[in-house]
A and B are shown apart, each in its own frame.
Chain A
Amino acid sequence: MIRVQQEDFDPAEEYRALRDSGSGTGAIATFTGLVRDSGDLKGVTGLFLEHYPGMTEQVIEGLVREASGRWDVREARVIHRVGSLALGEQIVFVGVCSAHRGDAFAACEFIMDALKTSAPFWKKEITGDSEHWVEQKAADLDRSQSWE
């Protein structure tokens, strides 16, 4: 299940859906990303998130397929928000259920790391008096490449 949306999401609801997804599940790993007050700029008050409709969903579907090929993934749920988000708001959710914790942790982290460097989303940081398109980070590329 992949969703790109402006609206907020409820991690508890997503967790319930993962828990109810079928027999054989012994582990659920989830990640939630939030808007932070400092990134490229200090004093960030919010973000604007843009995406490439259609391609974004296809790329994330491909990452979930790849994860399912590498680990035991019974079900994965990925939600990414777009539009204007204020400080502290939820940006992204990745939840994976598996038979065992190792596969759940690995698949969840892989999907998140790969999403950051391959899904067509762009963040613009907003402060009181300026705005700035975030630059891609070498550390994010390193994390993504570490799964290859």
Chain B
Amino acid sequence: MSADNTITVKFFARLREELDTASLTVEAESDLTAGKLLQSLAARGGSWTQLAGAHPVMIAVNQVMTKPDTVLQPGDEVAFFPPVTGG
């Protein structure tokens, strides 16, 4: 798997802790959207099932907030995280 054909996936805060994962990589596929990637991760079972909709998950692609129908490109950085609570 070449680095050029992968997508980096990052998790933050409660998701990072409960999934015990700060980041992982997946292979890019044609027509893969952020929403489809989220569903495929939820299918891993265990604590990953919470990604299927039990809690709101915000999505950023290349550090910009976006919607689930965003199509992912090789080299993209996707982040999934709970609603933000700074300030």
Contacts and interface: CB of A to CB of B under 8 A. Distances in A.
Interface of A: 33, 49-52, 54-55, 58-59, 80, 91-92, 112, 115-124, 133-136, 140
Interface stretch (B34-42, B44-52, B79-87): B79-87
Contacts, number: 73
Contacts of A91: 87
B60 interface: yes
A54 B17 CA distance: 21
B87 A33 contact: yes
A119 B12 contact: no
A123 B86 contact: yes
19 contacts: A52-B12, A55-B60, A55-B64, A55-B79, A80-B87, A112-B87, A115-B86, A119-B87, A120-B60, A120-B79, A120-B84, A121-B84, A122-B13, A122-B14, A122-B84, A133-B14, A133-B82, A134-B85, A135-B85
Contact of A119 (B16, B79, B82, B84): B84
Interface residues of B, number: 18
Given A33-B87, A122-B82, A55 B13 contact: no
Nearest to A39: B85
Contacts of B16: 50
Interface of B: 10, 12-14, 16-17, 60, 63-65, 79, 81-87
A52 B83 CA distance: 13
Nearest to B17: A133
Given A122-B12, A122-B81, A54 B87 contact: no
A2 to B, nearest CB: 13
Given A33-B87, A52-B60, A133-B17, 14 more contacts: A50-B12, A50-B16, A52-B12, A55-B64, A59-B65, A80-B87, A119-B84, A120-B81, A120-B84, A122-B81, A122-B82, A134-B85, A135-B85, A136-B85
Contacts of B17: 133
